[in-house]
Amino acid sequence: MRSETRSGAGVALDLVGLSKNYGKNGVVKSVDLSVKPGEFVTLLGPSGSGKTTTLSMIAGFTPATSGEILLGGESISSHPPHRRNIGVVFQNYALFPHMTAAENIAFPLKRRKMTRTQIRDRVKQALDLVHLHEFGDRYPKQLSGGQQQRVALARAVVFDPPILLMDEPLGALDKKLRDSLQGEIRRIHRELGVTIMLVTHDQEEALTLSDRIAVFNEGRIEQCATGETLYQRPATRFVANFLGESNIFTGPVDVVGNEAVVTIGDSRLRVEVDSPVGQSASVLLRPESCNVRAADGQIASDGCGLPGVVADLVYLGSTRRLEIDVPGHGRITVREPAENGERLRRGDNVAVTWSFGAATFLPEEQSASQEKASAPALI
C-alpha cells in the first residue's frame, strides 16, 4: 500500500452470464457486467434482488452455479477466496475483538508473510489513510462504530488489492456519521485508484459514491448507467419507480412529427419523441419538475399541465411535498421549494404544470430474453 495518490491501480472486473441457483430457485440470473479499472460501481436494489449474492460470488464466499468472473481478464471463478486477492468490507465490521486496531489491520499482511518492517510501515500508512493514527493500540470495544468501520476499511486495503468489495458498509451507522464516511470513501477511492464494487439499498449513498449504478431486480440487472442517466432516462418502469419518486401516466398515444400527445382522462399531455412509440405508452414526470398553483379546475391547453385537488401537504423544511388527486389518473406527487409555494390547503383545486421536455417516455417493458439480448448492463 502507498500513501501517495495513484491512478490506474485497479483492474477490470467482468461478470459473464453469472448465475446462482438454490434448487430450482434462481437468485442471480445470467448477470453480465463490465467494470473498468479504477471505477466505482454500486449494486443497488431491494432486499432479495440478488445484489449481495453477486458480491459474495465475486469474493468467492458463494460458489456460482454458472458463468465466469474475470479479474484483469483472468478467470478467478475456481479460485478460493484467499487466492483472489480481493479486499472485502462487511457491514458488521468483522474485526477480531482480541486484537488492537493495528493488529487487525496487520492480519492480512501476516497471512502474506511480509516482514515486520513491511507490516509496521503499511499499518502506519493504513491508519493515516483513515485518519486513525492515534488509535492503533485500541481494541474494537474501545472504538465507536464509525472508527471500527474505518479500521475495517484500512484492513481491506492494506495489502493493495486491485479490487475492493463493500457490503452495506455504512448500514449500521446514523445518518450524520454515514454522510461523513461517504466522503472518506470517496477520498480513499481517489487516492488509491482501486476498483470498488459497493452493495447498498440506500439510493442517496449510491448516487453520492458511484461512477455507475447497476439496478438489480429479481436476480437481473435492469439497467446500469450513471446516476443522472438512471434518474433522467430510466430504461424500465421498475428503475423509474425504484430510483427516487416518480409520477407515471399511461394512455393512448398520437404521434405528430417529433411530438406525441398522450391522453390521460380528459387531458392531453405533450411529450417530446426521440424514439419509436407504440399505440399506448407510459410517461415519466419527476415530482420536482412540477409546479402547483391555485386554479378553478381549468388550465391552459398547452399539454404541459393537469387539473387536480390537493389531497395532502407535508412540510419538509426546505421543500414541501404535495399529494394531488388528478381526474382520470389517480394520485401524483409534487415536490417544490417551501418558500415559493402558495398557501394551499387540502381540498383546494389546483393546476399542476411543468415545462415542455420535463415529461419523458418510458421504454416499453421487455421480456427476459429481450433484456438479455439488449445487454443494458454493458452501457
Spell 94-119 as b/e; 16+ CB within 10 A means b: ebeeeebbbbbbbbbbeeeebeeeeb
Question: In percent, how much of the chain has pLDDT > 70?
Answer: 91
pLDDT tens-digit series, residues 55-65: 999 999 999 99
Distance CA 228, CA 175 (A): 23
Question: What is the set of domains in the chain, with CATH numbers?
Answer: 13-232 (3.40.50.300), 247-362 (2.40.50.140)
What is the reported pLDDT for 264? Answer: 86
- Mean pLDDT, to the nearest integer, of 234-247? 92
CB burial class (10 A; 0-12, 13-18, 19+) of residue 224? buried
Task: Report the distance separating Cα 200 and Cα 206, nearest Å.
Answer: 7
How many Å apart are CA 232 and CA 297, to the nearest integer? Answer: 30
| Spatial distance between the Cα atoms of 335 and 341, rounded to a whole number of angstroms | 10
25-34, 146-155, 234-243, 359-368: least confidently modelled range: 359-368
Contacts of 265 (CB under 8 A, 6+ apart): 326, 327, 328, 329
pLDDT at 297: 58
Cα-flanking dihedrals φ and ψ of residue 317, to 5°?
90, -100
**pLDDT above 70 (res 366):** no
pLDDT at 256: 80
Q: Which of these ranges, 23-37, 237-251, 363-377, has the smallest mean pLDDT? A: 363-377
Classify residue 31 as exposed, middle or buried by CB count within 10 Å of its CB (0-12, 13-18, 19+).
buried
Predicted pLDDT of residue 379: 31
Task: Flag the least confident range among 41-50, 295-304, 366-375.
Answer: 366-375
The string of pLDDT tens digits covering residues 16-54 is 999 999 998 999 999 999 999 999 999 999 999 999 999
**Residue labelled with grid coordinates 430457485:** 25
The confidence score (pLDDT) of residue 377 equals 37
The grid cell for 241 is 419507480
CB atoms within 10 A of CB 155: 27
- pLDDT category at 376 given cuts 50, 70, 90 is very low
Confidence band of 258 (pLDDT split at 50, 70, 90): confident
Q: Span 310-320, mean pLDDT?
A: 92
Look-up of cell digits 424514439 = 275
- In 10 A of CB 321, how many CB atoms? 16
- pLDDT > 60? residue 118: yes
Using the predicted structure, report yes or no on whether residue 229 has a pLDDT greater than 80.
yes
Provide the sign of the torsion angle of the four alpha carbons 123, 129, 133, 135, taken in this order.
Answer: negative
Measured distance CA(41)–CA(195) in Å, rounded: 8
Per-residue pLDDT of 170-225, as tens digits, reads 887 888 888 888 998 999 999 999 999 999 989 999 999 999 999 999 999 999 99
